A = this chain, B = another copy of it.
Amino acid sequence: MKLLQDRIRECGKVLPGNIIKVDGFLNHRVDVRLMRELAKEFGRLFDLTGLTAVLTVEASGISLATICADEFGVPMIFAKKAKSDNIEGGLYQSDIFSYTYKKKVTLIMASEWLGPKDRVLIIDDFLANGEALRGLVDIVGQAGAELIGMGVAVEKGFQQGGQKLRERGINLHSLAIIESADESGIVFRGEE
């Protein structure tokens, strides 16, 4: 999606360690109007017939997922990273490895909010190793819900998460796939 690629080139910052900072418009300060354009693009890319919910993981996916849910007229459900005692029994759970926190994290979702009658779209702001998204797919499976697809704003194409998800047959669309990023600039998939 050219609009997003242009914004990444204009405002993104490449840091050592393959970190691409897009926190001026995507995951710290959020350009909500841009999120609306991304949501509309997902609406074009996916067949959302019978959609019942948009799913994401806390925290930085929530903003984009909220605008998608608003655009598509369904609720948004976000999986939590286990740490609070405010959620009692009746949970779907999936263990993932968080590269941000550098430790195992358990994603949890109350089972009363997702079941076999649901048709869901998974949304996230960023895809690198794909652990959080793998956990969400796991939770959708535990619920017996149908996964329509997975929409991601920015994918790091040089990491393995996207490839693994696509090899499982998941209908994954990333709106900007970064193939390489260094001091000479950012190259997106399709530009090589």
The chain A residues found within 8 Å of chain B, CB to CB, are 15, 19, 21, 23-25, 28-33, 35-36, 53, 58-60, 62-63, 66-67, 69-70, 73-78, 80, 83-84, 86-88, 100-101, 109-110, 112-113
Contacts and interface: CB of A to CB of B under 8 A. Distances in A.
Given A19-B86, A59-B62, A86-B100, A30 B69 contact: yes
9 contacts: A24-B113, A25-B75, A30-B75, A30-B77, A31-B75, A33-B73, A63-B66, A66-B67, A70-B70
A31 B53 CA distance: 10
Contacts of A69: 30, 32
Given A29-B77, A30-B78, A32-B76, 8 more contacts: A28-B77, A28-B113, A29-B75, A30-B76, A32-B74, A59-B80, A63-B63, A70-B70
Contacts of A29: 53, 75-77, 110, 113
Given A59-B59, A86-B21, A101-B83, A110 B66 contact: no
A32 B76 CA distance: 7
B32 A88 contact: no
Nearest to A53: B29
B110 A28 contact: yes
A13 to B, nearest CB: 10
Residue of A29, A36, A78, A113 with highest tally of chain B CB at under 10 A: A29
Contacts of A59: 58-59, 62, 78, 80
Given A24-B113, A70-B32, A84 B100 contact: yes
